[in-house]
Amino acid sequence: MVVYWTLVVLSVLYYNTNGASINQAAPTLDPTLACSVDGHLVPNGQNFTIKINGPCFTFKCVNRAYIPIEFKCPYGDTCLAIGSNVSTSQCITQQCQKNGNYVGYNLIKDGCPGFGNTCIDVNATYQDGCTTYKCLKNDNTYQLAPVEWGCRFRNTCLKAGHTEKSQCQVTRCEKRGDVIGMYPIQNGCQYGDGQCLNVGEQGLYKCVLYSCETQNINGLTYQTTKPIAAMCEDSQGMCHSNGGSMQMIINGNITASCNCMVNGLNVGYQCSG
């Protein structure tokens, strides 16, 4: 971005002083050589400024001509010399420059504020944790935008879309709104010797029927395995309902005549012989 002010010169006279010096301290007011500036006369050889240009452009009156001799850039209540740098924000630096008859500020360095008072150059990338940011510039607007992100999981970074299974819960690295994290996409319950049930499913283990259910405790949601029915298990691992005949191993011997007795989740046997 370049901001320039036009240097207004009312008249230009090219001349050679041949080394002669003008006494700046005590100029002589000769109306025939003086310069008319903003409604009053400036003696020949004296420096002056013009309202239309402001206090940062200095001219010298030479035989009624306006000769520009010094150019500066306005900055607040002061004037900065050509080549002076000004930081207009944490990551933007402009320089006072002269280009032909124009004097103003030219952008020499810009970027996006990073983390920890750092600056990221335009189109440069910055890594913070599992997220890669890029400094983007749109007109005079700067944005540190995420271009690649991941999720922190057990001291490592997982890429977007990666899934992890822990016991019976499956989580996936996702971005929801402005929040990046491992979000559950499948919840289940563990039962038996490590099998998983999805919420609402049932599974049989050693003749006990389990159900995976959801509970809400103090506003938090949990999945829990709940036994909902029981049967009798015979000597071969087969299941029998209440009143069914079955073989049992008692004291190391197979007993053929046993009946299954079920009362709720309590299981018993009645054997003869």
Measured CA to CA, the distance from residue 198 to residue 213 in angstroms comes to 9
pLDDT value of residue 273 = 63
Distances 70 to 19, 73, 101, 103, 110 between C-alpha atoms, Å: 19, 10, 12, 11, 28
- Domain match, 98 and 3 both: yes
pLDDT value of residue 247 = 87
- Domain match, 44 and 92 both: yes
Measured CA to CA, the distance from residue 4 to residue 202 in angstroms comes to 77
The answer as to whether 192 is a domain residue is no
CA dihedral over 54, 57, 58, 61, signed as positive or negative: negative
pLDDT value of residue 16 = 31
- Domain match, 12 and 31 both: yes
Task: Write down which residue in 72, 106, 140 finishes a domain.
Answer: 106
- Domain match, 6 and 98 both: yes
Which residues in the chain land under pLDDT 50?
A: 2, 4, 6-24
pLDDT value of residue 21 = 34
The answer as to whether 76 is a domain residue is yes
Structure token digits, residue 132 = 């890669």
The count of domains in the chain is 4
pLDDT value of residue 44 = 94
Task: Write down which residue in 140, 160, 186 finishes a domain.
Answer: 186
Measured CA to CA, the distance from residue 223 to residue 82 in angstroms comes to 71
- Domain match, 157 and 93 both: no
Task: Write down which residue in 132, 162, 186 finishes a domain.
Answer: 186
Domain of residue 223 covers 198-271
- Domain match, 144 and 46 both: no
The answer as to whether 193 is a domain residue is no
Q: What is the DSSP string of 140-170?
A: TEEEEEEEE-EEEETTEEEETT-EEEETTEE
The answer as to whether 155 is a domain residue is yes
Sequence letter at residue 134: K
The answer as to whether 69 is a domain residue is yes
pLDDT value of residue 27 = 56
- Domain match, 71 and 17 both: yes
